[in-house]
A and B are shown apart, each in its own frame.
Chain A
Amino acid sequence: MSAVLLLRRIRAYFVRDLQLELSYRFAFFLRVLSVLAVVTTFFFVSRIFTGGGECPCANSPFAQWRDPLAAWITGLAVLNYFMTGFSSLANAIRSEQAQGTLEGTLMTPISVTTLVVASSAWDFVQATFFASLYFFFGWAIFGVNFRGSFLLAFAILLLTTLVLASIGILSASFAMVFKRGDPFAVFLGTGSALFSGVFFPTQLLGSGFNHISRALPPTYGLDGIRGVLIEGRTFGEVRDSVFTLLVFLAVLLPFSVWVFSRAVRRAKREGSLIQY
Chain B
Amino acid sequence: MPPTVTKQDETRTATGADVRARSTADDAAEVATGDAASRVTPSVGSPHVGSAIVARDLSKTYPVPLARLKRLFRRKSDTPTEALRDVNLEIREGEIFGLIGRNGAGKTTFAKIIATLVQPTSGGVVIHGFDSVRDEERVRAQVGLASAEERSFYWRLTILQNLSFFARLYGMDDRRARARIRELIELFELGEQARQRFGQLSTGNKQRVILARAMLNDPPVLLLDEPTRSLDPLAAAAMRSTIRRLAAGTPPKTVLLTSHNLAEIEELCDRVAVISRGSIRALGTPQQLRVEHGSTELVRVTARAVSREAAASALRPLALAGFSARAGDRGEVVCEFTREVGDARLDAALGALRAAGGEVVAVEAERATLLDVLERYERGREAGDHTGDAVELPK
Which residues of chain A have a CB within 8 Å of any CB of chain B? 1-2, 5, 8-9, 11-13, 15-16, 19-20, 23-24, 99-111, 177-178, 265, 268-274
Contacts and interface: CB of A to CB of B under 8 A. Distances in A.
Interface of B: 24-29, 31-32, 60, 62-63, 65-66, 109, 112, 115-119, 121, 137-138, 140-141, 143-145, 147, 149, 151-154, 156-157, 161, 164-166, 168-171, 173, 213, 217
B63 A109 contact: no
Contact of B119 (A107, A109, A268): A268
Given A20-B156, A270-B62, A271-B112, A12 B169 contact: yes
Contacts of A12: 164-165, 168-169
B34 to A, nearest CB: 13
A273 B136 CA distance: 15
A132 B68 CA distance: 47
Given A16-B157, A271-B109, A272-B65, A108 B151 contact: no
Contact of B27 (A5, A265, A272): A5
A107 B151 contact: no
Given A20-B154, A20-B156, A8 B137 contact: no
A270 B65 contact: yes
Contact of B28 (A11, A16, A107, A109): A109
A271 B137 CA distance: 18
A1 B152 contact: no
Given A16-B165, A23-B156, A269-B119, A109 B151 contact: no
Contact of B157 (A19, A269, A270, A273): A19
A108 B156 contact: no
Given A11-B168, A109-B137, A271 B118 contact: yes
A100 B198 CA distance: 14
Contact of A5 (B29, B143, B161): B29
A203 B305 CA distance: 110
Sorted nearest first, the 3 A-B pairs with minimum C-beta distance are A100-B151, A12-B168, A104-B152
Nearest to B143: A107
A106 B166 CA distance: 10
B113 to A, nearest CB: 9
B28 A1 contact: yes
Given A9-B168, A108-B169, A270-B62, A103 B117 contact: yes
A204 B140 CA distance: 56
